Amino acid sequence: MPDSLTPETLNTLRLPIVFTPGAWQRAVLLEQPDHAEKLQVDRLSHVLRAAFEAHLAYPHKPYVLFEVIHIEPTDYLDHDPLLQLSLSLLQEPDQPGALLIALAGEHQR
């Protein structure tokens, strides 16, 4: 087992995951009506895998940046093909902890 899979890291990966509206809109939600449900599940899986890999690479950092392929409508040909997201531990008083996926810079503490 890799060194990064400590009990603490595994406990962190068991936390609920929440997205900011902007991150959900840009990273997961697709406007294409054909097969949208399967594509969104695939996108969600890809984003979660990238977030977990980023967390495993830097398990003790409270805020980690990662990138996923950015899918935009074809009329945005000059956009960056990568979308930068962040993963952070969300801890509010009297609330259970959660992992927050946000657009990079959107929700820094």
Q: What is the mean pLDDT of the chain?
A: 80
pLDDT tens for 28-44 read: 887 766 667 788 888 89
Q: Quick one: CA dihedral 33, 39, 44, 47, positive or negative?
A: negative
Residue ranges per structural domain of the chain: 7-103
Q: Quick check: 78 pLDDT over 70?
A: no
Q: Calculate Rg over the CA atoms of the chain.
A: 15
Sign of the alpha-carbon torsion through 62, 18, 12, 87: negative
- Residues contacting 40, CB < 8 A, separation 6+: 28, 29, 30
Q: Which pLDDT does position 67 carry in this prediction?
A: 93
The 10 Å Cβ neighbour count of residue 59 is 17
